[in-house]
Amino acid sequence: MTQRQFIDEYTSLPEEAKRQVADFVAFLRQRYTAAPSKRQTRPADLEKEPFIGMWCNRQDLEDSTTWVRNTRKVEWGDDA
């Protein structure tokens, strides 16, 4: 559809339909407006965070499946 055809179609619509077209155009304009660019942030240097490696020497976590099963037994009883 050319721009001229679109305008002809639009002008042939009743007033209520023209308002609906205008509302839809406003909706599309809002939806497709470029979002403001977000400020660039540097990724965190996780190696310097104190929580990294805090469980590295825990021997009870070497087998995580067994650890979860034992924790569930303690918290929920032997039926868990």
Give me 49's structure tokens. Answer: 């965070």
- Residue carrying structure tokens 């977000």: 38
> How far is residue 39 from each of residues 30, 43, 75, measured CA to CA in Å?
22, 12, 45
Alpha-carbon distance of 28 to 34, in angstroms, equals: 12
Give me the tens of pLDDT residue by residue for the chain, a chain 80 residues long.
899 999 999 999 999 999 999 999 999 998 888 766 677 788 888 888 888 888 888 888 888 899 899 999 999 987 65
For the chain, the structural domain boundaries read 48-76
Sign for the CA dihedral angle at 48, 50, 52, 57 comes to positive
CA pair distance 58, 54, nearest whole angstrom: 9
